[in-house]
Amino acid sequence: MHRFLFLTLLLISAACSATPPTSTHVGYFSNQKTTATTGDPHSEGYAVDLYREGSHVFGKFYVSTGIEAPSGPIYNAKIDLSAHTVTFGAKLSTGFEFTRDSGPQGRPARDVFEFHGKISRSTLEGRLIHKSGYDPTSDIRSEHVLLRRVNINMPSVDYAEWLKESANAPVDW
């Protein structure tokens, strides 16, 4: 009986002292280019910041559209390390849109991005599809993108803590 009680207490103490899970920074990949014409810098391109915690993949997707660089959390992300494939989606707003449905004042854009591609030590390459969140059946743009790894030191983060930041909350539309 004492042996059983000792083993039970040992297992409980080991579980209580276990360190919380932390992520691995998979990488920051970008093809963003900045140009300065007459002292006014403008950027164009995309960037992805990926983390992995166990089998869970999360991070941010950035779209540079001139002066602004809006971002949104990625969702449904998967990395298959043996096949070197990556897929994810992201929802964000890149500004205002003016369409027949938006009226003359326009409305905030609802941009949905889907990425399907390959990952290597130095690149993230594949097909990026851009859709409207108002009409998910319409492809606004589909393009081949090549994002190169940018070597920056990013700390590991706990996914639950990362998700608590309002900027990382999933978009509700």
* Confidence grade of residue 8 (pLDDT, cut at 50, 70, 90): very low
**pLDDT over 70 for what percent of the chain?**
87
Instruction: Look at residue 35 in the predicted model and tell me its pLDDT.
Output: 82
* Confidence grade of residue 4 (pLDDT, cut at 50, 70, 90): very low
pLDDT, greater one: 3 or 138? 138
| Six-digit token string for 21 | 């899970």
* Confidence grade of residue 7 (pLDDT, cut at 50, 70, 90): very low
* Confidence grade of residue 100 (pLDDT, cut at 50, 70, 90): confident
Element (H, E) at 144: strand 139-150
Whole-structure pTM value: 0.81
d(CA 58, CA 88) in angstroms, rounded, equals: 9
Instruction: Look at residue 21 in the predicted model and tell me its pLDDT.
Output: 55
| CA dist list (Å): 87 to 5, 28, 141 | 48, 15, 17
Instruction: Look at residue 2 in the predicted model and tell me its pLDDT.
Output: 45
Mean pLDDT for the stretch of residues 3-11: 41
pLDDT tens digits along 41-75: 788 999 999 999 988 999 999 999 877 789 999 99
| Six-digit token string for 37 | 């014409």
**How many beta carbons lie within 10 A of that of residue 77, not counting itself?**
22
Residues 6+ apart with CB under 8 A from 29: 47, 48, 50, 123, 124, 147, 148, 149, 150
pLDDT tens digits along 141-165: 999 999 999 998 887 888 999 999 9
- Per DSSP, 45 falls in state E
pLDDT at 10 over 60: no
State the number of CA atoms in the 13 A half-sphere of 100 facing the CB: 1
Radius of gyration of the chain (CA): 21
Residue 142 C-alpha from the chain's centroid: 18
Instruction: Look at residue 81 in the predicted model and tell me its pLDDT.
Output: 86
Mean pLDDT for the stretch of residues 110-117: 96
